[in-house]
Structure 1
Amino acid sequence: MNLPTPRRLYRGLRKMLRFLARPARRGGRRAGRVIQTYRGYGSRRSVFLIGRVFRQPGLGLNLREGPLDDVLNIIRRTVRWGVHDAHLTVTVGAVSVDVVTDRDGYFHVTLDVEANQDWPDQAFWQQARLRLHPGHREGEREPVEASADLYIPPRELDCAVISDIDDTVIYTGVASKLTMMYQLFVLKARHRTAFPGVSAFYRALFHGDTGERRRPMLYVSRGPWSIYDVLEEFFHLNRIPHGPILFLREWGVTLQRPLPIRAKDHKARLIRRMLAIYDRVPFVLIGDSGQRDPEVYAELVDEFPDRIRAIYIRHVHRGTDRDRAIQALAERTAARGCDMVLANDSLEMAQHAFQHGYIARDGLEEVREDCRRRQGS
């Protein structure tokens, strides 16, 4: 890998500083509570949203926009902490619900939105409105407000896609924020860490066999919530279809929570929630062979035999024992009418998807070209 020139390194580091400072800057300069929202999703009947309430210090400085101001905002972002027992009202269309944050400041909202019958038939992004009620102990007099994006797919939906991120979309470096930031903002595009063909394959799945499906693309990760905005930027720069990014846990290791939270069975619970919101819609699941994705997905096929249409597993492990174990799982899911494909690359996944009518020929050819170009560079 060629090292960046000093000029490129400087420009990249400046972009990185501005990016890392952005969340604190959005919250304003004064000390107080702020709402951080994450992209949500839903159907014509119900929607789901996650967010967090922070207390953010002001630090009493008012610098001009520039490197020093960016560093100040990065410090503010680093030392802010989650606020427990904060009361919010979340509104989508004409429907509102009250929610209280947990011990780490997170809130999870599911709203029944069947009253919103005037929504268009085609896919669109809906905005949820959030209102954080004044905290009398904090001396606040005015509520804090924010908004969040919710993806609403077309009324006639043929399937939805759920994908792991770590070692499925991105090489394992996802766990290191500094590594990802360096790759995003300093290195050239061809050195970024998405697997060859991933971007084209996910776009093909989003558009479907007709080119106009606009399916929900839902992403899960073993990483912490703290890298959410980094992954959002990564998806944008790599032209991967945007969708909600749902992490398995808050890693902890803070003064608020000195030990990481156990994440056992959390991925399966997240997927069950998605299956419930998109009731009766079949799913395509994508993961990798390095962790327990094949086992988790096979269990979901047992539980929902008519809902999982195909499973794509990226081959990232070494050893024939693991090959045999995944083959046994593939035979088990095949008995319930679901193909589990252990694929060496994105092109193998795309070829199966095209053969079974999940993507269009143009999508397959774009994946083929992207793999050829990336693997030959």
Structure 2
Amino acid sequence: MTVANDEQWPTPFKEWLTRTASAADDIADSGVRRLKRRFGHEDIPKIQPYMGYATSERIYLHGRVLTNPPIDSDYQTDHWWRNLQNAVQRFVSNEVPGVTIEGAFDGHTATTTSDSEGYFHLTLDRPPQESAAFWDMAKLRIKNHPRARRESDQTTCHLLSVPSEAKFAIISDVDDTILHTGATNIVTMAKLTFFGNARTRAPLDGVAALYERLQCEDGNTPINPIFYVSSSPWNLYDLLEDFLELNAIPRGPLLLRDLGFDENKFLKSGHEHKLDKARRLIRAYKHLPFLLFGDSGQEDARLYAAAAEEFPDRIRGIFIRDVDPMISSSHDAKVDQYVRQAAQAGVPMYLIKDSVQAAEIAAEHGWLDRDALPTIVQATRRDTERPPV
């Protein structure tokens, strides 16, 4: 839901519209909550946790407080009308602001308060550790809320810890990089968003095998972290998390976009936040080089070229999936200029047609063991021949 790019709107009008929309949204939400309290129908707040991640010094946890968190779907039997009902529930969220949340891990705790749209972010100090599990669990709970219930006021969230033997980290886009979305066609994208589910979404051919071998040098033990950034809103978090699991794509923290009306949210480009999140990750993991994956259909090449100029010594390579590899298109011409821009910064950017080509390039640079190539070729061929869902 990208309304417009910043430069298309006169600054004074944009600021006025942002303030007006934000105020109207806050008034409407607070009005609904007052009515529910008055008639005794105030809902019970619950935590929707998002995957967290840890550096050697800090732990980052986040999530959202809602009274109607997404429900588990039955992907085998759900029909289009059930998918539509679930999609509507995701976007008609009942957020709960002002809730105190406590996060805890390994004896360390911190508290924060949910914002006007129910989002919260927690940062915990982390003591030095000789070793840690690649995946661990942190705890989240609601503190001192009159409507909270013991059975629903606490939850756990997955926490990614990067091992000392990690060789690099991956930042990957989602739409048309690992997941077919038809982002260049608004009708196709809307159909998939509102009438499909995690099972009906198709992964890019061979992407599961490619990412698994980039993450696990031996094919079994994960050492290299993968972070997923997307212009999709946080409302689709549960669907994307399920998509990764159902398609055996290595899981990793999903960093999505807020569709709220607050400053820096409303009328802001739906893609710029991906560069902001990439910056934070690169700065957080000072000892790791990065590989970036995106696609040619949106703004990934431009954003990643800007990242290459800003962090030329930290980014080893950039892979851009060609959304229309069978033809030469305007997308290719647009990527070409950013290939040159990244090259001037000393960072190679590759426009790739499929997972096999990405694997071959990664093997040439030593980012991937050559023994993994047959597995990725076979997986890509199998996925190509897979009948549509």
Matched, 1:35 2:50: no
Aligned partners of 1:249 and 1:261 also within 8 Å: no
Secondary structure of 2:250 counterpart: coil
Aligned partners of 2:291 and 2:315 also within 8 Å: yes
Residues 125-168 of structure 1: CA distance to partner in whole angstroms, max 9, x if unpaired? 222211211224x5x58692221111112122210001001011
Secondary structure of 2:382 counterpart: helix
Q: 1:291 to 1:79 in 2, by over 3 A?
A: closer
Which amino acid in 1 is paired with 2:115? Answer: D
Residues 310-362 of structure 1: CA distance to partner in whole angstroms, max 9, x if unpaired? 10000115654442332232122223332100011111111100111111123
Counterpart-to-counterpart distance in 1, 2:63 and 2:275: 20
Structure 2: which 5+ runs fail to align? 1-41, 70-76, 183-188
Structure 1: which 5+ runs fail to align? 1-29, 58-65, 186-191, 253-258
Q: 1:86 to 1:351 in 2, by over 3 A?
A: same
Moved over 4 A (4+): 73-80, 140-143, 209-213, 259-262, 317-321
**Residue in structure 1 matched with residue 125 of structure 2 by the alignment:** 112
Identity within the alignment, %: 34
**Residue in structure 1 matched with residue 364 of structure 2 by the alignment:** 355
Which of 43, 60, 69 is the matching residue for 1:48? 60
Counterpart-to-counterpart distance in 2, 1:161 and 1:320: 27
**Residue in structure 2 matched with residue 158 of structure 1 by the alignment:** 167
Secondary structure of 1:239 counterpart: coil
Which amino acid in 2 is paired with 1:125? Answer: W
Counterpart-to-counterpart distance in 1, 2:43 and 2:130: 38
| Range with greater deviation from structure 2 (314-323 or 273-282) | 314-323
The structural deviation recorded for 1:372 is 2.1
Which amino acid in 1 is paired with 2:51? Answer: R
Counterpart-to-counterpart distance in 2, 1:332 and 1:37: 38
1:224-235 to 2 correspondence within 5 Å? 224-235=233-244
Q: 1:211 to 1:361 in 2, by over 3 A?
A: farther
1:136-155 to 2 correspondence within 5 Å? 136=146, 138=147, 144-155=153-164
What TM-score, normalized to structure 2? Answer: 0.73
Secondary structure of 2:223 counterpart: coil
**Residue in structure 1 matched with residue 307 of structure 2 by the alignment:** 300
Matched, 1:127 2:129: no
Which amino acid in 2 is paired with 1:82? Answer: E
Paired residues, number: 320
Counterpart-to-counterpart distance in 2, 1:237 and 1:193: 10
What TM-score, normalized to structure 1? Answer: 0.76
1:1-377 to 2 correspondence within 5 Å? 31-56=43-68, 81-113=94-126, 115=127, 117-118=128-129, 120=131, 123-136=133-146, 138=147, 144-172=153-181, 176-181=192-197, 184=199, 193-208=202-217, 212=221, 214-250=223-259, 263=270, 265-317=272-324, 320-377=329-386
